[in-house]
């Protein structure tokens, strides 16, 4: 018997084009300032801005032969001793922004920044045998340098230790595992052009200062309305009715240049599942191709609006939120989305139903910087109904979407769902990214559930974090 499954995904990215279509608006020959380190959080309103002179990479313990030996675990670069097994070795200047391991495996971990070693562990490091049965609450150690919500451990994530603490290095950075048993992991870092000046602060070696409380406060606000309110904010709102199969315009915005700071919907609880299958379309500046054309549920971070456990939050993220109460489901997006002349937001009904009492809200702020400093927000949908064993699934190829052409911008996220007869081993596929016609991937992970912030298939459970999750 041949088992078939479907893989549905939405890829999010901030991009601009080389068409020069906004030549009549203010532009600049100087590159925009890049927020670095903790400023990447504190200046999150600059997500749409270009990052000229920096490149993102992802390295991991993937099987170098291209297979999945030992579930992509313990494929170290080299070993200096039994307790120093190197998984990452890069030259700076740069910043490690994210690290993921399976449970506590491999700990204690060596963070060697510009030649200076620092040991990082977690609660289960000292006595890992039987830790899952003995320990219900775990943290990184030292916790003051790796606090929650910049870090999350397996007791919450259902299988992984995750750290978003920025680690800056001037010349070199090495990450090594103290133990080799099932040492799996992946790491996302940025490398900068030598002598780069258009950054928010100098790139200096990590000084082991506890994270800025403002960063912790921001991440702790996940699940709430984090978009600006008050002065200089314009609010548009209304109520929608949707007819079967028809496109309905939510709003057209003509006050520009402007940045959308909040896009929100409220739908009656009994209609939520089917509303999630509606199609969201956003077109910037009267372009021929829409830049957002996706199912609503995937756009807001869940494969479907299915909540059998009646949780308050299906998605309790920083950029996206799906919240339930006794009567309604609330969908919120806080990604900054600039446009320069006009924006049109539409919804198409896709389930053959009539919808009423759908409330919506859009909040905007003036965009005052040169138009060539920022990119449009894009969300591209792909559907792979019958994947072929051994053949890659391509979720985004900018040579072909929206008419193709040359692009400049940043990949910012992805949401996906396995449907129909999806099985757990489908989570073993390694995510890979190829930028600027490279024949080898600048990013290579260890598996699909790791890409979603989990491990061991989340133990069959769900979780939602500010920047990752497995909600359904």
Q: Which one, of 192, 187, 163, lies nearest residue 176 by Cα?
A: 187
What CATH number did the domain enclosing 318 receive? 2.60.120.1390
CB count, 10 Å around CB of 79?
Answer: 13
Q: Give a yes or no: residue 415 inside a domain.
A: yes
Give the number of domains in the chain: 2
Mean pLDDT of 150-171: 96
Contact 37, 95 (CB under 8 A): yes
Q: Which one, of 452, 440, 466, 444, lies nearest residue 414 by Cα?
A: 452
**345 plus 466 within the same structural domain:** no
Tell me: pLDDT of 468 over 50: yes
Of 22-36, 140-154, 323-337, the one with minimum mean pLDDT is 22-36
**402 plus 370 within the same structural domain:** yes
Give the per-residue pLDDT at 235: 98
List, for residues 335-374, the tens digit of each pLDDT value. 999 999 999 999 999 999 999 999 999 999 999 999 999 9
Contact 65, 124 (CB under 8 A): no
List, for residues 288-309, the tens digit of each pLDDT value. 999 999 999 999 999 899 999 9
Maximum Cα–Cα distance across the chain = 67
pLDDT band at 443 (very low <50, low <70, confident <90, very high): very high
**461 plus 382 within the same structural domain:** no
pLDDT band at 4 (very low <50, low <70, confident <90, very high): very low
Mean pLDDT of 325-331: 97
pLDDT band at 8 (very low <50, low <70, confident <90, very high): low
**205 plus 240 within the same structural domain:** no
CB count, 10 Å around CB of 27?
Answer: 12
Which is it for the CA torsion 450, 454, 458, 462, positive or negative? negative
CA atoms within 13 Å, Cβ hemisphere of 323: 16
Tell me: pLDDT of 54 over 50: yes
Give the per-residue pLDDT at 452: 86
Between 346 and 159, name the one with better pLDDT.
346
List, for residues 162-218, the tens digit of each pLDDT value. 999 999 999 999 999 999 888 889 999 999 999 999 999 999 999 999 999 999 999
pLDDT band at 455 (very low <50, low <70, confident <90, very high): confident
List, for residues 227-261, the tens digit of each pLDDT value. 999 999 999 999 999 999 999 999 999 999 999 99
Q: Give a yes or no: residue 225 inside a domain.
A: no
pLDDT band at 419 (very low <50, low <70, confident <90, very high): low
- Is the bond preceding 149 in cis, omega lying within 30 degrees of 0? yes
**267 plus 305 within the same structural domain:** yes
**13 plus 157 within the same structural domain:** no
The C-alpha angle with vertex 164 and arms to 52 and 417, in degrees rounded to 5, equals 90
Give the per-residue pLDDT at 3: 31
Q: Give a yes or no: residue 240 inside a domain.
A: yes
**71 plus 23 within the same structural domain:** no
Give the per-residue pLDDT at 199: 98
- Is the bond preceding 108 in cis, omega lying within 30 degrees of 0? yes
Q: Give a yes or no: residue 204 inside a domain.
A: yes
**207 plus 283 within the same structural domain:** no
Determine the structural domain holding residue 146 and report its residue range: 32-220+423-472
- Binning the chain into helix, strand and coil, the percentages to the nearest 5 are 10, 40, 50
Of 78-92, 385-399, 414-428, the one with minimum mean pLDDT is 414-428
Q: Which two tokens stand for residue 350?
A: 């896709």
**260 plus 128 within the same structural domain:** no
Q: Which one, of 159, 131, 65, lies nearest residue 424 by Cα?
A: 159
**315 plus 175 within the same structural domain:** no
**Burial grade of 129 (CB within 10 A; 0-12, 13-18, 19 or more):** exposed
Give the per-residue pLDDT at 459: 77
Contact 40, 6 (CB under 8 A): no
Decide which of 403, 421, 439 is a domain's last residue.
421
For the chain, the average pLDDT equals 91
Give the per-residue pLDDT at 19: 42
Tell me: pLDDT of 401 over 80: yes
Cα 55 from Cα 441, distance rounded (Å): 13
List, for residues 60-80, the tens digit of each pLDDT value. 999 888 787 888 888 999 999
**335 plus 200 within the same structural domain:** no
CB count, 10 Å around CB of 82?
Answer: 9
**92 plus 162 within the same structural domain:** yes
DSSP designation for 270? G
DSSP string for residues in 389-402? TT-PPP---TTTGG
Give the per-residue pLDDT at 207: 97
pLDDT band at 391 (very low <50, low <70, confident <90, very high): confident
Tell me: pLDDT of 420 over 70: no
Cα 309 from Cα 453, distance rounded (Å): 21
pLDDT band at 18 (very low <50, low <70, confident <90, very high): very low
Q: Which two tokens stand for residue 74?
A: 């313990």
Give the per-residue pLDDT at 404: 84
Of 34-43, 214-223, 279-288, 298-307, the one with minimum mean pLDDT is 298-307
Give the per-residue pLDDT at 364: 98
Cα 394 from Cα 373, distance rounded (Å): 29
Q: How far is CA 382 from CA 163, 291, 293, 388, in A?
A: 29, 14, 10, 15
CA atoms within 13 Å, Cβ hemisphere of 465: 23
Which 3 state secondary structure label does DSSP give 133? helix
Beta bridge partners, 374, equal 49
């Amino acid at each position: 018997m041949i088992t078939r499954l479907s893989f549905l995904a939405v890829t999010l990215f901030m991009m601009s084009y080389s068409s020069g279509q906004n030549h009549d608006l203010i532009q600049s020959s100087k590159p925009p300032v890049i927020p670095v380190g903790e400023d990447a959080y504190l200046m999150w309103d600059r997500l749409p801005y270009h990052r000229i002179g920096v490149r993102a990479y992802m390295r991991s313990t993937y099987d170098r032969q291209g297979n999945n030996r030992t579930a992509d675990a313990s494929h170290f670069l080299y070993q200096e001793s039994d307790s120093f097994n190197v998984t990452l070795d890069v030259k700076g200047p740069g910043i490690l922004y994210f690290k993921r391991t399976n449970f506590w495996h491999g700990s204690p971990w060596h963070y060697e920044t510009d030649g200076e070693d620092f040991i990082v562990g977690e609660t289960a490091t000292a006595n890992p045998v039987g830790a899952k049965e003995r320990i219900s609450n775990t943290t990184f150690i030292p916790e003051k340098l790796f606090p929650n919500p910049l870090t999350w451990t397996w007791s919450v994530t259902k299988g992984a230790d995750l750290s978003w603490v920025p680690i800056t290095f001037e010349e070199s950075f090495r990450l090594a595992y103290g133990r080799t048993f099932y040492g799996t992991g992946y790491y996302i870092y940025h490398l900068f052009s030598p002598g780069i000046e258009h950054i928010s602060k100098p790139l200096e070696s990590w000084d082991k200062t506890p994270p800025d409380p403002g960063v912790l406060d921001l991440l702790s606000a996940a699940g709430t309305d984090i978009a600006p309110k008050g002065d200089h904010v314009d609010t548009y709102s209304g109520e929608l009715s949707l007819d079967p199969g028809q496109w309905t315009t939510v709003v057209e915005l003509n006050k520009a240049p402007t940045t959308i700071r909040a896009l929100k919907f409220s739908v009656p609880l009994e209609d939520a599942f089917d509303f999630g299958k509606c199609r969201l379309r956003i077109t910037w500046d009267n372009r021929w191709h829409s830049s957002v054309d996706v199912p609503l549920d995937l756009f807001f971070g869940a494969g479907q609006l299915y909540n059998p456990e009646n949780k308050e939050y299906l998605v309790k993220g920083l950029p996206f939120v799906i919240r339930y109460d006794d009567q309604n489901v609330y969908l919120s997006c806080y990604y900054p989305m600039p446009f320069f002349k006009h924006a049109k937001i539409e919804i198409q009904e896709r389930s053959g139903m009539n919808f009423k009492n759908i409330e919506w809200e859009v909040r905007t702020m003036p965009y005052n910087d040169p138009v060539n400093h920022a990119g449009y927000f894009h969300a591209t949908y792909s559907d792979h109904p019958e994947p072929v064993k051994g053949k890659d699934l391509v979720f985004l190829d900018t040579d072909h979407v929206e008419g193709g052409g040359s692009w400049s911008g940043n990949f910012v996220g992805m949401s996906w769902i396995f449907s129909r007869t999806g099985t757990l081993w489908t989570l073993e596929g390694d995510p890979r990214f190829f930028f600027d016609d490279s024949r080898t991937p600048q990013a290579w992970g260890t598996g699909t559930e790791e890409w979603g912030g989990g491990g061991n298939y989340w133990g069959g459970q769900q979780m939602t974090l500010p920047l990752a999750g497995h909600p359904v």
